C-alpha cells in the first residue's frame, strides 16, 4: 500500500500516513488504505500501535480540499461517513493507539489524532479545526471528540474561530500528553508502546474497553462495565502468572496473551 506504511516491531506496530508531498492529507484512497491496514493487524502479536505521518512537517494536514470542493450534499455526507467509520475503528481498536503528531494536525488530522488513545507531539506541531473558514463543519468527529477531550467551552472557541493551537497550548489544554523535539518524538512513542506491550495484553485491552465504554454511560452502569471486565481477567493464564510472580517476588518473563 503506497499511502499507508506498516512496520511491525517487538510487540507493537508503527502505521505511517505516507503522502508527504500533500502534507499527508486524507483523500478517499488514504482513508481506505488506513482502514485496511488496521483491519489486517494481528492482535496475537501486536499489543500497541503508533500512528504518525511521513516527514517532519505534517502528521496529517487535513482532508483533501481538492476532493471535497465539488461534493454534493449526499456525497459530502458519504465522505464524512467514510472518515468516521475509519476513525471510529481506530478509536475502538482493541489495543491502545498512540498518535505521534509530527507537525500539522489540522481538520481531519486533528480528528484522526483525537481518535487515538494517547497523543504526543513534536515541538513544531500545530492543531486546529479550520473548517468554518472553508464553509463547512468538521466532518470526521471533530465537533464531538474535541469537546470530550478538552473543556467544552474551549472546544467551541477553537471550532467557531478556526484558531490554530501550537504544541505548548495543546499540552496546557490537555489535547496532548507530552511535547518532544522532533527527533525524539518517534523514539518516545516507541518507548511508550514497548512499555504497554510488556504488560498483560488481555488486561490492557480490557482497560481500554472499560474506559471507552464507561465514558458513554452514567457512573453506576460504568462501574458494572468495569466489574465485568475485571472478572473476565480471572480466566486468563496471564492473570495466574502475574499474581504468582508478584507473590514469589519475581518479574513475569513474558505475558502469553492467553
Residues with active-site annotation:
111, 131
Rounded Cα distance between 110 and 150, Å, is 13
Residue that the C-alpha cell 486524507 belongs to: 26
Rounded Cα distance between 46 and 51, Å, is 13
Rounded Cα distance between 20 and 58, Å, is 8
Q: Where are the alpha helices (DSSP H) in 199-236?
A: 201-214, 219-232
Q: Fill in the DSSP letter of residue 49.
A: E
Q: Fill in the DSSP letter of residue 122.
A: E
CA distances from residue 162 to 25, 159, 245 in whole angstroms, order as listed: 18, 5, 52
* Pairing assessment for the beta strands 97-101 and 118-122 based on DSSP bridges: parallel
Residues β-bridged to residue 98? 50, 118
Rounded Cα distance between 3 and 31, Å, is 9
Burial class (CB in 10 A: 0-12, 13-18, 19+), 128: buried
Long-range contacts of 68-71 (CB under 8 A, 24+ apart): 68/136
Amino acid at each position: 500500500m503506497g499511502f499507508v506504511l506498516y512496520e511491525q516491531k517487538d510487540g507493537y506496530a508503527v502505521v505511517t500516513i505516507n503522502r508527504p508531498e500533500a502534507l499527508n492529507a486524507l483523500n478517499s484512497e488514504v482513508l481506505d488504505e488506513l482502514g485496511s491496514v488496521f483491519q489486517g493487524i494481528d492482535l496475537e502479536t501486536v499489543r500497541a500501535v503508533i500512528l504518525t505521518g511521513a516527514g517532519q512537517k505534517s502528521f496529517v494536514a487535513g482532508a483533501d480540499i481538492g476532493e471535497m470542493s465539488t461534493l454534493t450534499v449526499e456525497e459530502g455526507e458519504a465522505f464524512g461517513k467514510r472518515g468516521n467509520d475509519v476513525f471510529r475503528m481506530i478509536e475502538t481498536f482493541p489495543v491502545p493507539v498512540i498518535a505521534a503528531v509530527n507537525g500539522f494536525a489540522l481538520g481531519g488530522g486533528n480528528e484522526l489524532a483525537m481518535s487515538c488513545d494517547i497523543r504526543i507531539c513534536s515541538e513544531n506541531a500545530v492543531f486546529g479545526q479550520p473548517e468554518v473558514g472553508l464553509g463547512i463543519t468538521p466532518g470526521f468527529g471533530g465537533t464531538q471528540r474535541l469537546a470530550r477531550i478538552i473543556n467544552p467551552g474551549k472546544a467551541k472557541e477553537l471550532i467557531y474561530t478556526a484558531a490554530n493551537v501550537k504544541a505548548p497550548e495543546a499540552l496546557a489544554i490537555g489535547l496532548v500528553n507530552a511535547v518532544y523535539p522532533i527527533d525524539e518524538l518517534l523514539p518516545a512513542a516507541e518507548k511508550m508502546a514497548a512499555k504497554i506491550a510488556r504488560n498483560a495484553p488481555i488486561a490492557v485491552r480490557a482497560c481500554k474497553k472499560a474506559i471507552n465504554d464507561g465514558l458513554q454511560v452514567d457512573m453506576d452502569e460504568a462501574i458494572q462495565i468495569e466489574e465485568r471486565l475485571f472478572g473476565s481477567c480471572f480466566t486468563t493464564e496471564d492473570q495466574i502468572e502475574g499474581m504468582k510472580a508478584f507473590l514469589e517476588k519475581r518479574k513475569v518473563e513474558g505475558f502469553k496473551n492467553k
